[in-house]
Amino acid sequence: MKLITENIENVEYITEETKDGKKNYSIKGVFMQADVKNRNGRVYPKDILTKEVFRYNKDFINNKRAFGELGHPEGPVVNLERVSHMINKLYPDGDNFIGEAKILDTPYGKIVKNLIDEGAKLGVSSRGMGTLVHKDGANHVKDDFYLATAADIVADPSAPNAFVEGIMEGKEWVWNNGNLKEQDIDALKVQVESATRTQRAEVNARVFQAFLKKITN
């Protein structure tokens, strides 16, 4: 499975002042789009997004566990030390999925608030895991798609609506006992391919043991 992100810039940052002078900050806008070929030539089928958004609502939003980070994280797991906001709504609107999030009073949330106060242009980036299949001139996200977070806050959104960008090209991720584990597949491949024919069985066994050790640590 590859880590894929989708950068979105047409979101609204809302600031509301309470009676006691405190400011509440929130985000609202299109967090994801379905059945649209983006600039990277990728498509999220609507039925797959609908199923995954339902699970995300049930498991995360409804339990107040739907957090997002500031910046572009390098993996699928949300790092609580970098959390800046909590997503409290994610619902369909045609082929779009509208999201709403509250900026939290965490260290990274305070940075976001300061950026908003200074007029910075920010966007959001959904983060998920999945495999792709190429058909009809586009890469379609398959039904193993897993939404890790509906929105991270980013400073460099690069598309008018939705734009999927694959990152960490040399790494893959697999499920292990309900957790995603990073696999350095290329390093293992090099060991196998550089082995002689007589060494191949021994190297294969060693590589397999290294793989098992990596996903169980």
Q: What is the set of active-site residues?
A: 72, 125
Q: Please, what is the Cα angle at 216 between 77 and 80, to 5 degrees?
A: 20
Residue length of the chain: 217
Spatial distance between the Cα atoms of 113 and 14, rounded to a whole number of angstroms:
10
**In contact, 97 and 126? CB cutoff 8 Å:** no
Give the position of tokens 């983060």: 127
Nearest-angstrom CA–CA distance, 83 and 72: 12
Q: Give helix then strand counts, H and E, for the chain.
A: 4, 14
Name the phi and psi angles at 97, rounded to 5: -125, 115
